[in-house]
Amino acid sequence: MKRLYTVLALTAFGAALAIAQDKPAAAPTREFKSVNIEVKGQKIWVPSVFIVKKGDKVKITLVNTAPSGVHAFAIDGYGDAAKTTVDNKDGDNTKTIEFVADKAGLFRVFCPMHPPHVGGQLLVLE
């Protein structure tokens, strides 16, 4: 019986050690789809608010349906990885940006071409 307890104890210890040595789970990828619309001359990306956790991989697919032409999308604090322009022509009206949300805080989402019209926020939680 003592031998059985020893084997069980060693097995449990080995399992615990194996679990402890496993790599931490990879950060999830948070995927969004945002569509640029235009209503009475006002342009906006919908949705325009994105909420993720620090360390998440972020993938935002942008679709431009606004009839007024090319529009842009950018997120302050995340540089060129979170910036693109999107045409409104069929076949060329979709772009995807991908980046890691490595800074916590509230970041402005905007169109560098039309800042007064297009706005939003990226909230990165700790």
Which sequence spans correspond to the domains of the chain?
29-125
pLDDT in the model for residue 31: 97
pLDDT in the model for residue 5: 45
Backbone φ and ψ for 28, nearest 5 degrees, come out as -70, 155
Q: How does DSSP classify residue 38?
A: E
The whole-number mean pLDDT for each consecutive block of 10 residues of the chain, a chain of 126 residues, reads: 45 44 73 92 89 97 88 91 86 91 95 77 96
pLDDT in the model for residue 22: 55
Q: What is the pTM of this model?
A: 0.76
pLDDT in the model for residue 7: 39
Q: Which CATH number fits the domain 29-125, given the four candidates 2.60.40.420, 3.40.640.10, 3.30.499.10, 3.30.70.260?
A: 2.60.40.420
Q: For residue 49, give Cα distances in angstroms to 30, 98, 120.
A: 13, 16, 5
Largest Cα–Cα separation, the chain? 82
Find residue 88's DSSP bridge partners.
Answer: none
User: In 28-39, which positions are buried (b, 16+ CB within 10 angstroms) versus exposed (e)?
Assistant: eeeebebbbebe
Closest CA to 114 of 73, 56, 64: 73
d(CA 82, CA 3): 60
The token duo for 106 is 């509230």
